[in-house]
């Protein structure tokens, strides 16, 4: 129940920010995107699918809100863990060419992810098996670029470097490469 409350709280805060009307932005400046990404860290690999809404606040700044599903695997040879679960993220993007949301951006943000996982610990004889649930706070930095296909469609390749900083699972630092298809609203 705690996980659900955390996710609902973040979604509620994100909805308040999205609904507020920014000065200087029009509805056509906002984007709705759908994408996927994959990545790895030292002993793990994972994939994420997501939907994202970006609200343009000015020519240089956008706020992005993402909901997604994570699937990951960790294995260091002695401990194996597989997990998945939903999460939400909020990010600030700074557009380097004063052309939001149609150019190169850098940014960062944080998220909350609720994962369920199963593990096998081979440090014990016989191996110890179990499962767990955790709510993790995630922080990240990102770089990406929006490429207009036409007046309505945008393709966005992006890279994200981050870390899960408060997790009972083996989630930790990661690098993610992803792509999304977006639509001007």
Please tell me the predicted confidence (pLDDT) of residue 21: 46
Residue 65 pLDDT > 90: yes
Torsion angle of C-alpha atoms 62, 7, 47, 105, degrees rounded to 10:
10
- 82-113 pLDDT, tens per residue? 999 999 999 999 999 877 778 899 999 999 99
Please tell me the predicted confidence (pLDDT) of residue 98: 77
Report how far residue 5's alpha carbon sits from residue 14's, in angstroms, rounded to the nearest whole number. 14
Beta-bridge partners for 157: 179
Instruction: Name residue, tokens 């994408």.
Output: 35
pLDDT band at 28 (very low <50, low <70, confident <90, very high): low
What would the mean pLDDT of 42-62 be, rounded to a whole number?
91
Which of 170, 166, 180 has the alpha carbon at shortest distance from 118? 170
End-to-end CA distance of the chain: 34
Q: What is the distance of C-alpha 87 from the center of its chain?
A: 7
CB atoms within 10 A of CB 78: 11
- 120-163 pLDDT, tens per residue? 999 888 999 999 998 989 999 999 999 999 989 999 999 999 99
Domains of the chain: 2-16+35-184 (2.40.160.20)
More confident residue, 10 or 89: 89
């Amino acid at each position: 129940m705690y996980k659900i409350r955390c996710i609902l709280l973040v979604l509620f805060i994100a909805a308040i920010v999205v609904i507020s009307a920014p000065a200087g932005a029009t509805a056509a400046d906002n984007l709705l995107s759908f994408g996927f990404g994959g990545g790895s860290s030292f002993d793990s690999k994972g994939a994420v699918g997501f939907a994202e809404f970006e609200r343009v606040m000015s020519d240089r700044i956008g706020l992005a809100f993402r909901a997604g599903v994570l699937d990951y695997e960790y294995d260091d040879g002695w401990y194996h863990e597989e997990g998945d679960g939903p999460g939400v993220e909020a990010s600030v993007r700074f557009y380097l060419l004063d052309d939001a949301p149609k150019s190169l951006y850098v940014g960062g943000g944080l998220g909350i992810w609720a994962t369920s996982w199963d593990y096998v610990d081979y440090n014990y004889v016989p191996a110890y098996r179990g499962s767990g649930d955790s709510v993790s706070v995630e922080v990240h930095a990102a770089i990406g670029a929006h490429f207009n296909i036409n007046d309505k469609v945008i393709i966005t390749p992006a890279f994200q470097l981050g870390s899960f900083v408060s997790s009972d699972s083996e989630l930790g630092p990661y690098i993610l490469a992803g792509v999304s298809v977006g639509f001007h609203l």
